[in-house]
Structure 1
């Protein structure tokens, strides 16, 4: 258990790392939109998170691990590239909103700790 808040703090940190990975992969897809044969990649972590939420095992310390996978099932163009720029831009926006939300939750945690520490001095 961490001094900064235990499991919930660790989940926040891991979630931020996973969303950051999602942003990087999405930007890589957008950078390769004109590369012949390039297959779009995506980050799968949300399904792992949903499985962890449903668990009632108190001894389980959830781990969020982003896994990068390749979409080989589709093809957008004749040259084999399957990157859809509109979809990727929406995913990038979604990931940014998720990251901002997680960052605000992390800031709230730190502000709460700071308040507890400063009130303890009085």
Structure 2
């Protein structure tokens, strides 16, 4: 019996890994706000969640032939540079206000995943203790 290999644990793990990659990219952008010719990095986070959902073994119980199957595509985490804009005279395109907002949003998302993971562990702990 694999308690920590379930689909929900794997999804949470991949979501946390994606949030970490996004945090690193945002931190680099903030650290290089005054670096000449630095181009802001962005993480395509939706790919991380899609990948997490597609790597698990979700099986739909189809009671009708017209029901849709779960799709399976492989989308890696993508870190891209935005070269389309320039905010500073030195070629830098980091918008500090945008980066701080993205950092806060990512932190909220990360905390939500941690809360969900803690809930899963609390449920396991309750089962181990016999519901007490």
Q: How high is the TM-score relative to the length of structure 2? A: 0.77
Match of 1:73 in 2: 84
Q: Provide the residue aligned with 2:104 in structure 1.
A: 93
Query: Tell me, which stretches of 5 or more residues in structure 2 are unaligned?
Result: 55-67
> 2:106 & 2:125 partners in 1: Cα distance?
28
Instruction: From the CA coordinates, give the structure whose radius of gyration is larger.
Output: 2
The answer on 1:102 being equivalent to 2:113 is yes
Aligned equivalent of 1:11: 11
Give runs of aligned pairs for residues 102-121 of structure 1, distance below 5 A.
102-119=113-130
Aligned residues: 118
Provide the alpha-carbon RMSD of the alignment: 2.8
The list of structure 1 runs, each at least 4 consecutive aligned residues, that deviate by more than 6 angstroms after superposition, is: none
> Which structure would you say has the larger RCO, counting Cα contacts within 8 Å and 6 or more residues apart?
1
More helix by share: 1
